[in-house]
Chain A
Amino acid sequence: MRMRVVLALLLPVLLLLAVFFVVPIITVLAASFDTSDPQRVAGWAAYWKLASDTYYVRVFIQTFVFAIALTVLTLLFGYPIASFIARTSAVERGIVIFLVIAPLLISMVVRSYGWQLILGNSGLVNTVLAAAGLVPVHFMAGWTAVTIASVHVLLPFAVISIAGVLSSLDRSIEESAAVLGASPVKVFFLVTLPMALNGLVTAATFVFLLAMGSFVTIMMLGGRGTMVVPLLIYQQVTITYDQPFASAMAAVLMVVTLGMLFGQFRLLRKRSV
């Protein structure tokens, strides 16, 4: 009887995921082998093109380096904010959490648009610079604008997950270390960091996955030089209508991402033993 109840609770979501998640993922793999249109690069030829054409190789590398760089930057900028949340007064904590969460609830498109108004050639920063008699800076269409806006998008996720990790730590251990004469730097590196590491890696994974899949900020603030795989996939589908090749790119992106996740999972396993 109990088995039936458990099954009843789990079945709806399992069925939904099987039909509308697993099958679509398989179809996209199959679609990359759809050679019915001789005009299109499909099948192994598509994968070979991705592996040998220097342009695609460069865009793939660029995508991963950018996602990793964003993850590191976001964690570095976010950690102090999270640790502040963990130790400040209730009122200030409420205000800071509000300011961190509020941008999250406003569309990424809108936030990127806000950055256009700030960093654009006649935007806020350049208006201020011109008023001060300084040379205007060209932020847009390059990595600077894209990085600033992406950190802004990802920071709330990082702060919320790190704050969750920090609030679950046993603070008395840190205090004991301090009482026993460890300097704040030592306490951080030898006590807090090792305790929080698993949670931090989870937060990093979360941020990394979000960074890997989205292209809104890059589409709105980037230029020719800032191409990444998600944007390339989007263009293949909507501009060149090359679904097989786009599917091949999606398959490679997915496999490499899962590979990196698996590596991280193994790393965590080793640490916790």
Chain B
Amino acid sequence: MRKPAHPLLRGYVWVMMVFMALPLVVVIGASFNRGAAIRFPPEGMTLHWYAEVWRNADMVRSATNSLLLAVCATLISFIIGVPAALALVRHVHRHREALQAFLLSPMTVPAIVLGIAFLVFFGWTGMGLSFTTLLIAHVIITVPYVIRSVAGVYLGVAVSIEEAAKVLGADPWQLFTKVTLPLIMPGVVAGGLFSFIMSFDNVPVSIFLTRRETLTLPVYVMSYLVHNFDPTIAAVSSVQVLFTTAAIIVIEKFYGIRRLTETI
């Protein structure tokens, strides 16, 4: 049995939890505000601003762009990142540290530097700014998260388990789908989650690479707030909070949110 937490520690943690939740509560509250000026607490209830979000074609499109971008970036990161992580842990012996440092190196460059580097690069090569180039940039940002989480979990998996499967006659595909993949699943979920967040929330890179058709939600919201100050943003943000909560509940249901801290 572990020693239970000190009441003072528990008190501190719950104060901090209020701090963590506060901006979200305020944004949700402001989204129902009747007045056009943003107020918290709200002056009266309305769903007007939610309808306003739906009517704003640019906002809806930027939200779809962001979602599509984050999903694609995460999927590509899985496809190229998971095999690399597996090879790194099991098959690379010489220069493993150097290789690992290289694979994770996009994480060590300040995000804004990556942003301007992509801008200059896509300009010079004539690739221009499109959804594809934006996606490439996002994959560079997200793939290290997948590699790090998967390699971290795979390092703790005993070689003997896979060897036993091989001895019992599993072919490489069976070995991967029936043995390795279930074992590394915690790393895949954690890496995928981080990858999605890092893409969906990215501003320092997206802000240089988006055009009107490829605008992402955070970039759109930022530019919107420069000229407008009405609760539409609060409404679209509340929708995002709703989706996020749903996503977390799904992860919790099928996987257990607690296990995330064991893998990141």
Given contacts A93-B258, A105-B244, A109-B218, contact A117 B109 (CB under 8 A): no
Does B81 belong to the interface (CB within 8 Å)?
A: yes
Does B46 belong to the interface (CB within 8 Å)?
A: no
Binary contact track A69-97/B, C-beta < 8 Å → 1, others 0: 00000000100110111011010011011
Does A61 belong to the interface (CB within 8 Å)?
A: no
Does A188 belong to the interface (CB within 8 Å)?
A: no
Q: Which of chain B's residues have a CB closer than 8 A to the CB of A215? A: 112, 203-204
Q: Which of chain A's residues have a CB closer than 8 A to the CB of B17? A: 96, 99-100
Are B91 and A28 in contact, CB atoms less than 8 angstroms apart?
no
Partner pick for B91 among A6, A124, A155, CB 8 A cutoff: A6
The stretch from B20-28, B51-59, B161-169, B177-185 touching chain A is B20-28
Number of A-B pairs, beta carbon distance below 8 Å: 269
Q: Which of chain B's residues have a CB closer than 8 A to the CB of A47? A: none
22 CB-based A-B contacts, threshold 8 Å: A5-B91, A8-B83, A10-B84, A12-B80, A14-B84, A20-B136, A27-B120, A84-B9, A90-B258, A97-B257, A97-B260, A102-B20, A103-B24, A110-B221, A113-B234, A113-B237, A114-B27, A122-B39, A161-B264, A214-B111, A214-B203, A230-B111
Are B91 and A94 in contact, CB atoms less than 8 angstroms apart?
no
Q: Which of chain B's residues have a CB closer than 8 A to the CB of A108? A: 201, 203, 218
Does B106 belong to the interface (CB within 8 Å)?
A: yes
Q: How many residues of A contact B (CB 8 A)?
A: 89
Partner pick for A123 among B40, B103, B109, B139, CB 8 A cutoff: B40
Q: Which of B97-134 contact A (CB under 8 A)?
A: 99, 102-103, 105-114, 116-121, 124
Given contacts A87-B4, A107-B218, contact A246 B116 (CB under 8 A): yes
The stretch from A36-44, A136-144, A189-197, A252-260 touching chain B is A252-260
The docked-state distance in angstroms from the alpha carbon of A118 to that of B17 is 16
Closest residue on chain B to residue A178 by CB atoms: B3
Chain A interface (Cβ < 8 Å from any Cβ of B):
2, 5-6, 8-10, 12-14, 16-17, 20-21, 23-25, 27-28, 31, 77, 80-81, 83-85, 87-88, 90, 93-94, 96-111, 113-115, 117-118, 122-124, 127, 149, 152, 155-156, 160-161, 163-164, 167, 171, 209-210, 212-216, 219-220, 229-230, 233-234, 237, 243, 246-247, 250-251, 253-254, 257-258, 261
